[in-house]
Structure 1
């Protein structure tokens, strides 16, 4: 007879990442506060949280992600949260680690390779978590989504937040997953307010 799982019996796992002290791109003041606040909330609702990852490099993030992905078991409830800078190249979303280089140094034709080498592809995270067959995957991405396209004219339009919606971008998807961005494609998160937490986190809490 197949085992029955209830919300109480399922494991709840979370990985929370906050990066604000960037070395080569604009620093952000809220991600660390947001990561700490969410970790505290998740612990109160009985999530098992990995150690908070604050201001981590790409190498460190890769190791943390592998450990987290390998810890996921069938029927787990899995939550992944990232606060920091994000970039969208055509239909792929990337999360930027602390040591992400200046992207302006990359030629337009080389940007995909540049991002794959120096950033973290969100779809890859989703795919690897999904392969573990959890009950549900929740991705909360509190980051800007400035995006770049191969077509130069479209790329110029994409940098203008008022026109970004006119550019077609393929949405990420996976069965039994919930993906929430803090802003629309092409938009930048406002990190200049006097609030201790981002608007996204303020409403999550």
Structure 2
């Protein structure tokens, strides 16, 4: 037997280790190339998983697997993967952009917005990042910002159709209808991959101008390109109602009915609501059970508790006939968007959109569960929520916080106009009060709006008829009390719900 000296053994060990490492790296590179070029998403996912077995700290593999999981609409695991990629390498813009894309698909617009901003900081000449950011700004009601951001995307790539659509949608909400139409037509000419969306947008523009015939033609063109496209279906229904007085069909939607009820009252850093929202949610649960709903009641929830309740509810809501969300508590407009406030909300300029629930995100996430009909009752914006005198409890610690909160809340009265983008054929939103105004706590057990709901929601009655009676009741009762409150509905439905 030959016995080698120790130095030579160490040399052999080093040589073998280096060779194995080189082989491993080469194997990983080959697998990544193969995975990147694999057209079958399932097979590509398996290849990326094999790569991560060899090297579990490879951000490129996590990103690749996130992309192919996204193609399969495995959003939860895709988000986990891209979170890993970002954690391993925060200097790569495409990781932030991919995470933003996934967040958009699950209606997480506030977090997607932050990620697109990070991506742009790292790669400021990517036009597609500006287009994505503009989309998120629009969904959060920041139309001025959305228009400006889309313009930057157009400046960087004037031949991309997507920034034109985003600029047009922002302009439409700002009342620049002719400019919006020009953008939509330009986007079509540049071969947008989903032209039915543009034709529906053109229908919306014509509808705003009162040009019913032109709107009808645009909606019909959209539906020719994509049958059953919800936004165009609802738009066409509205046009037929205006032009011909055609009433939509009605249905009991008597299968699976689920409801989530949220009552927030005991706020920690803004005005307490004296328990009335909890009374509202509790009594509405009893009412909805009589109408055939399986209910989930949550009371005085923090942000994390609220998000957990929502995630569980989305699972219950999948493919339901009717999904209903009732919210009672504080709500407010912030930087153009509407937010429902958990009891531990901190109203600061940097974090409110990340520690509250954006109403548009909630509406879209419910629609993503593919219900036949979704309904939102919002007894929010009870009062303009001034900050409590925190300094009396903690003399100095919250002085700066209070000043920031006071400045933010000044002038933020109630919700802005709610914009609904239909992802299903029937979406109905009933709000306690009109935009830019606040609702009142009632003199009895419940708020005025909830009182009306409890009184007029009855089995066998049409939803729209019941809510018409609710509006009249609230106006009459609040006028008697000396503070007129005007409930408002947003009817984006193609059918009538029979309770």
TM range (shorter): 0.7 to 0.9
Equivalent residue for 1:49, pick from 295, 318, 321? 295
What residue number does 2:433 align with?
183
**1:134 counterpart = 2:380:** no
- Whether the 8 Å contact between 1:91 and 1:171 is mirrored in structure 2 is no
**Which structure shows the bigger proportion of residues in helix conformation?**
2
Tell me how far 1:40 sits from its aligned partner.
0.3
Equivalent residue for 1:71, pick from 313, 316, 320? 316
Give deviations 1:158-199, integer Å, cap 9, x for gaps.
Answer: 8286xx99xxx55321321111111122222222x4311000
Counterparts of 1:62 and 1:75, CA distance in 2: 20
**1:121 counterpart = 2:358:** yes
Give the direction of change, closer, same or farther, for the CA distance of 1:187–1:72 in structure 2 (3 Å limit).
same
**1:89 counterpart = 2:338:** no
What residue number does 2:255 align with?
10
Give 3-state SS (helix, strand or coil) of 1:97's partner: coil
Give the direction of change, closer, same or farther, for the CA distance of 1:75–1:35 in structure 2 (3 Å limit).
closer
For normalisation by structure 1, the TM-score amounts to 0.78
Give the direction of change, closer, same or farther, for the CA distance of 1:8–1:95 in structure 2 (3 Å limit).
closer
What residue number does 1:152 align with?
none
Q: Structure 2: which 5+ residue stretches go unaligned?
A: 1-250, 386-406, 455-499
Tell me how far 1:97 sits from its aligned partner.
0.4
Equivalent residue for 1:19, pick from 256, 260, 264? 264
Give deviations 1:85-139, integer Å, cap 9, x for gaps.
Answer: 00112431100001112x2xx3xxxx3x422221111111111111111111101
What residue number does 1:201 align with?
450
Larger Rg: 2
Equivalent residue for 1:34, pick from 273, 280, 285? 280
Counterparts of 2:338 and 2:332, CA distance in 1: 6
Counterparts of 1:71 and 1:83, CA distance in 2: 21
Give deviations 1:49-104, integer Å, cap 9, x for gaps.
Answer: 01x11101000000000010122122520000100000112431100001112x2x
**Which structure shows the bigger proportion of residues in strand conformation?**
1
Counterparts of 1:21 and 1:171, CA distance in 2: 26
- Whether the 8 Å contact between 1:17 and 1:82 is mirrored in structure 2 is yes
- Whether the 8 Å contact between 1:85 and 1:96 is mirrored in structure 2 is yes
Counterparts of 2:359 and 2:270, CA distance in 1: 20
- Ranked by relative contact order (alpha carbons within 8 Å, sequence separation 6 or more), the top structure is 1
Counterparts of 2:412 and 2:352, CA distance in 1: 21
- Whether the 8 Å contact between 1:91 and 1:170 is mirrored in structure 2 is no
What residue number does 1:159 align with?
411
The number of residue pairs the alignment matches comes to 177
For normalisation by structure 2, the TM-score amounts to 0.33
Give 3-state SS (helix, strand or coil) of 1:40's partner: helix
What residue number does 2:343 align with?
98
- Whether the 8 Å contact between 1:13 and 1:77 is mirrored in structure 2 is yes
